[in-house]
Amino acid sequence: MKESEFGKIAGEPVRERCRVFVVERDADARGRIETSLAAEGFKVEATAPDAGAFDRLKAEPFDIAVLDLKSPVDPKCIEICRRIKGDPDLSWLPVMAILAGDGKDEIARAFEAGADEFVGTPFSSGELSVRAKVLVRKGREERWLMERARRLAQKVAERDDELDDLRRFAQDIVSSLSSALLVLDAEWTILFANDAFLKAVGKDRREVAGRNLADLLAPQALKGPLGDALNAAVIAGRPGEIRRAAGLFAAAERICDARVTPIEYGGVRQILLALDDVTEQARAEEEVARERAKLNDIVNAMNASLCLIGSDRRILWQNRTFGIWFGDSYGQPGLAAFRAQIDSAGNPVEEVLRTGKVLRQNWSVFTPTGQRRFFSNILAPIRDQKGNPFQVLSLTQDVTDQETRIEQLNLLRELSIVLQGTLEQDKLFRVILICATAGHALGFNRAFLFTRNRQKNTLDGRMAVGPSSREEAFRIWAELSTKTRSLHDLLRNVESSPMDGGPLHRMVRELSYPMEDPSEIVPRTALEKKAQLVIDAESDPRVTERFRRLFGTNSFVSVPMVAKGTVVGVLLADNLYSGRPITDEHVKLLTLFAGQAGLAIENAETYAELQLRLQELKRAQDALVHSEKLATVGKMAAHVAHEIRNPLATIGGFARTMMRKPSNTERVARNAKIITEEVARLENILRAVMDFSRPASPNLKPTDLNAAIEHVCRVQNENLLGKNIRLFVDLDRSLPEIMIDETQISQVLINLIQNAMDSMPAGGELSVSSRRREEMAEVSVKDTGVGIPPEVMDKIFSPFFTTKQNGTGLGLAVSKKIIDDHGGRMNLYSEIGKGTEFVILLPLRGRTV
Amino acid sequence: MARLLVVDDDKNLQVLYKEEFEEEGYEVDVAGSGSEALEIVKKNKPDLVVLDISMPGMDGIEVLSKVLAQDKTISIILNTAYGTYKDNFMTWSADAYVVKSGDLTELKSKVREILDKKLKG
């Protein structure tokens, strides 16, 4: 082998690098070896086998050791060889033994001692060096391999440590897990179980390993869903999860969540089963659920509707009552009315959210069956975790009962006022019936009123109110829901709205029950003086077929109206259209009400009787007035007789004279003139009598009083001037037109002016004036005449009283009558020698005829 | 010659009575009122007064009592349109009561009757 080849094997030129450590006891031999190796390029260090030989070998990097193992072998050399091969750092170092020959024992001993090669003495130097070179190459190879193996071993050892850590870590985790963890094979045999499982089944590791899961759990544990899940994992490789499985462990009533995970381990399907003891959570959850259910029951059972409203005003949640009220009972109008509250102009939801304050609302709704329900809303903010209001809780209570009670109290109070103040029977009947039907205190659909006819001893239908058909009822209810008038308003309107006399009213007007007939419910009510509540007329023996046919109602109540122990009538009411059941409370209230009504009817009857008496009185008075009139007529007749007798006597007398002495033409002419005058006088008297006696009710028309005065004054002015009387007229132009009979009032003025003229024979002044005096128009006619003596003042307006030569005594009487007929007054102020003033007062708002 | 006083507020009747009684041959005074009548009674001392009852101011009954208070010998005939005054007891003191009429025959005969009685008496 060439050097270069060797160098290649060693990777480097051996000659320069190879160091040889030679141990040879024989100095000659040592020399030879040293020489021959050095000649071959080795760097040789040679020594006798002494104590320090091995240490040098170890301390310096030699490539080969050449040891003298010749027989008889030096134990020190054997020792060195063994130490080399026993030393892990040097075991790679190739050892060449120098043997005495090539005896087999010697060779065996050398190999036994660990030598790698040998040369037998004598050897050529070539032989030694070639072998040495080969050995060096092998040694280097071995050294490199050893180095590598050592490094690998080191790495493996490091990995092993890591794995150990990991394993410990995993074990720690697995054993510290509260969940029971199991690895099962396909037969459910336990391959692994963690501490938690051991604890759960109360066994140690050895008792569990290799046992079947079924033997460790409760007998029925795997018959249920857990078994199914395990099967599914084994067969289909499907993971599974069972929540809240109870009765898995025999020991205690524990509740577990189980998770089944199929795993592949070494190509074998296994199952990882995790059991979480969730007993406490489950109990807590159960508790919470129970509490929630309880709360829910309360919330649902409470007689108030609850809902949760979001900031967008949508209803997010509602309790059962809410659904019942605004879904079923009161239907669309109910929900619409509720929504109207929530959506009302003030935006209450927004307000509650903004202010965080509780808001109250009161509202009402007419249900589809015509009942009015009253509600009270409480809107309260619901706060989020930061305490900011973000939703609104609406608590709605049905306060109809309270409202109804208040209304009932009001009803009775108002009734006692209205009823006692109502004396006209028809109006009273209407009030009673309206009270029974309107409002929601009683709120019957229909009501019928019968009163006792004492003459015939019957109960007669007097009046009925209520819709005559279902359609009408619904129309009225719909109307009512838009304008909810209070009872007070309704009662106030009683007078203004006339009784329309619908079919119901006409029907009841024709009914008359004999008082003593208990077969009919109406007289029975009166006879027993007891309310009769009929729930099912069809089967009730108190109700006749005739009644059913007439009233068409199956459930009604009939109550007596009693006053001072006597039945004055019967009130009958039903809910034909709404079908609302009549409760005992309704009956009680209606009875109470009928008591009031009875008293009022009694009052009204007394009043009616009083009216009758009054009318009789009035007739008597009229008769009296008539007779007085007759007396007046008699008196008048006497006056007329007197007044007529004078002219008649005169006429008769002169006529006879003329008859006796027709030739005395002068006399005849004069007498004829006198007769003519007297006839004219008779005619005057006749006219005055006619004026007084004619039935002159004034024909009232809006009239400008001032214009009438001016007209009279204009006409009379000439006469006045002829008597040297100055006329002063002073009129109040602000007087409105008043309701008078202009002709009659003008007649009064003419009479007064005439009187004034007569009282001023020597002339004087006449003042006519008008002015307003409070609610009256005042007209004054004032003269500067002789005046009226006090003793005749009280007679001056009497018919036929006169102070005048040719007066009829009727002027002032007629004038006074006219003013009286106008609802006015006439006053008189007079002073002897100074004058007289007549003052007429006429109402500005004249009587309407 | 007997002297009469006719008291009546009716002017035409005054004229009629005056003429008629003068024709009968009496001296006749007329008065239109009670007060005027009393003056004439005082002044002329009539034998007989024909007295109307219904007059403005002092009525005939009052005049009657006043005339009688002055002179009880004067005869008085109440001459009136009213029949009712017969019931007034004052009228009893009058010598006669004649209802007014276009026919003066009754009045005239009563006047004559009373005056005759008076003259005889």
Contact A650 B81 (CB under 8 A): no
pLDDT at A745 over 70: yes
pLDDT digits (tens, 9 = 90+) for A36-68: 888 888 888 888 888 788 888 888 888 888 888
* CA-CA-CA-CA dihedral for B66, B69, B70, B75, to nearest 10: 80
The pLDDT of residue A633 is 64
Please enumerate residues of A whose Cβ is less than 8 A from a Cβ of B. 638, 641-657, 674, 677-678, 802-805
Q: What residues of chain B lie within 8 A of the CB of A678, using their CB?
A: 12
Residue A300 DSSP code: H
Q: How would residue B111 be classed by pLDDT, with cut points 50, 70 and 90?
A: very high
pLDDT at A847 over 60: no
| Gap from A802 CA to chain B (nearest CA, Å) | 7
| Gap from A761 CA to chain B (nearest CA, Å) | 17
Identify the burial level of A453 via C-beta atoms within 10 angstroms of its C-beta, where 0-12 means exposed, 13-18 middle and 19 or more buried.
middle
Q: What is the mean pLDDT of residues A518-537?
A: 91
pLDDT at A3 over 50: no
| Gap from B1 CA to chain A (nearest CA, Å) | 23
pLDDT at A118 over 80: yes
Identify the burial level of A775 via C-beta atoms within 10 angstroms of its C-beta, where 0-12 means exposed, 13-18 middle and 19 or more buried.
exposed
The pLDDT of residue B39 is 93
pLDDT at A655 over 60: yes
Q: What is the mean pLDDT of residues A774-792?
A: 90
Among A9-18, A316-325, A377-386, B92-101, which range has the highest average pLDDT? A377-386
Question: Cα–Cα distance between A175 and A46 in angstroms, integer?
Answer: 65
How high is the mean pLDDT of chain A?
A: 82
pLDDT at A347 over 70: yes
The pLDDT of residue A484 is 52
Residue of A540, A534, A570 whose CA lies nearest to A555 = A534
The pLDDT of residue A9 is 43
The pLDDT of residue B48 is 94
**A552 backbone φψ class: left, alpha, beta (φ>0; ψ -120 to 50):** left
pLDDT at A7 over 60: no
Q: What residues of chain B lie within 8 A of the CB of A641, using their CB?
A: 81-82
pLDDT at B85 over 80: no
Q: How would residue A812 be classed by pLDDT, with cut points 50, 70 and 90?
A: confident
* CA-CA-CA-CA dihedral for A245, A248, A251, A257, to nearest 10: -40
pLDDT at A133 over 70: yes
Contact B101 A652 (CB under 8 A): yes
The pLDDT of residue A665 is 83
Asked if B39 and B61 touch (Cβ cutoff 8 Å), the reply is no
Q: What is the mean pLDDT of residues A307-314?
A: 86
The pLDDT of residue A614 is 79
Q: What is the mean pLDDT of residues B53-81?
A: 86
Q: What is the mean pLDDT of residues A456-469?
A: 86
The pLDDT of residue A778 is 94
Nearest CA in chain A to B9: A805
The pLDDT of residue B43 is 93
Contact A653 B57 (CB under 8 A): no
| Gap from B82 CA to chain A (nearest CA, Å) | 6
Question: Cα–Cα distance between A635 and A638 in angstroms, integer?
Answer: 5
Q: Choosing among A636, A644, A650, which should be mutated to test the B contact, i.e. which has the most B CBs within 10 A?
A: A650
Nearest CA in chain A to B58: A803
| Gap from A810 CA to chain B (nearest CA, Å) | 15
Residue located via tokens 């040297």: A724
pLDDT digits (tens, 9 = 90+) for A552-601: 888 999 999 988 888 999 999 998 888 888 888 888 888 888 888 888 88
Contacts made by residues A696-700, CB under 8 angstroms, sequence distance 24+: A696/A744, A696/A817, A696/A818, A696/A821, A697/A821, A697/A849, A698/A740, A698/A741, A698/A744, A698/A818, A698/A821, A698/A822, A699/A741, A699/A743, A699/A744, A700/A739, A700/A740, A700/A741, A700/A822, A700/A846, A700/A847, A700/A848, A700/A849
The CATH number of domain B3-120 is 3.40.190.10:
no
Quote ipTM for the complex.
0.81
The pLDDT of residue A460 is 92
Q: How would residue A849 be classed by pLDDT, with cut points 50, 70 and 90?
A: very low
The pLDDT of residue A477 is 66
pLDDT > 70 fraction of chain A, expressed in percent and rounded:
88
The pLDDT of residue A37 is 85
The pLDDT of residue A625 is 63
Amino acid at A226: L
Side-chain half-sphere of A314: how many Cα atoms within 13 Å? Answer: 2
pLDDT at A696 over 80: no
Q: What is the mean pLDDT of residues A12-30?
A: 76
The pLDDT of residue A479 is 65
Q: What is the mean pLDDT of residues A80-109?
A: 86
Q: What is the mean pLDDT of residues A682-711?
A: 78
Q: 3-class DSSP state for residue A659?
A: helix
The pLDDT of residue A468 is 78
Which has the minimum average pLDDT: A224-228, A351-355, A478-482, A632-636?
A478-482
b/e map A635-656, b = 16+ CB within 10 Å: ebebbbbbbbbbbbbbbbbbeb
pLDDT digits (tens, 9 = 90+) for A272-307: 898 888 888 888 888 888 888 888 888 777 778 888
Contact B100 A645 (CB under 8 A): yes
Contact B16 A648 (CB under 8 A): no
pLDDT digits (tens, 9 = 90+) for A585-594: 888 888 888 8
The pLDDT of residue A506 is 85
pLDDT digits (tens, 9 = 90+) for A203-243: 888 888 888 988 888 888 888 888 889 988 888 888 998 88
The pLDDT of residue A483 is 55
Identify the burial level of A275 via C-beta atoms within 10 angstroms of its C-beta, where 0-12 means exposed, 13-18 middle and 19 or more buried.
buried
What does the domain layout of chain B look like in residue ranges?
A: 3-120
Q: How would residue A729 be classed by pLDDT, with cut points 50, 70 and 90?
A: very high
Q: What residues of chain A lie within 8 A of the CB of B62, using their CB?
A: none
Asked if A571 and A436 touch (Cβ cutoff 8 Å), the reply is yes
Question: Cα–Cα distance between A406 and A399 in angstroms, integer?
Answer: 11
Nearest to A654 among B8, B16, B54 (CB): B16
The pLDDT of residue A496 is 47
Which has the minimum average pLDDT: A509-513, A697-701, A746-750?
A697-701
Q: What is the mean pLDDT of residues A824-832?
A: 90
Residue A736 DSSP code: P
Q: How would residue A848 be classed by pLDDT, with cut points 50, 70 and 90?
A: very low
The pLDDT of residue B4 is 94
The pLDDT of residue B87 is 56
pLDDT at A13 over 50: no
A767: its two tokens: 């003042």
Asked if A373 and A403 touch (Cβ cutoff 8 Å), the reply is no
| Gap from A819 CA to chain B (nearest CA, Å) | 26
Contact A644 B104 (CB under 8 A): no
Nearest to A652 among B9, B32, B102 (CB): B102
Q: What is the mean pLDDT of residues A484-501?
A: 58
Contacts with A, B 45-104, CB within 8 Å: 54, 56-57, 80-82, 84, 99-104
Q: What residues of chain A lie within 8 A of the CB of B24, using their CB?
A: none
Pairing of β A268-277 and β A255-265: antiparallel
Pairing of β A372-383 and β A359-366: antiparallel
Residue located via tokens 């009880």: B72
Contact A646 B20 (CB under 8 A): no
Q: What residues of chain A lie within 8 A of the CB of B32, using their CB?
A: 805
Question: Cα–Cα distance between A641 and A646 in angstroms, integer?
Answer: 9
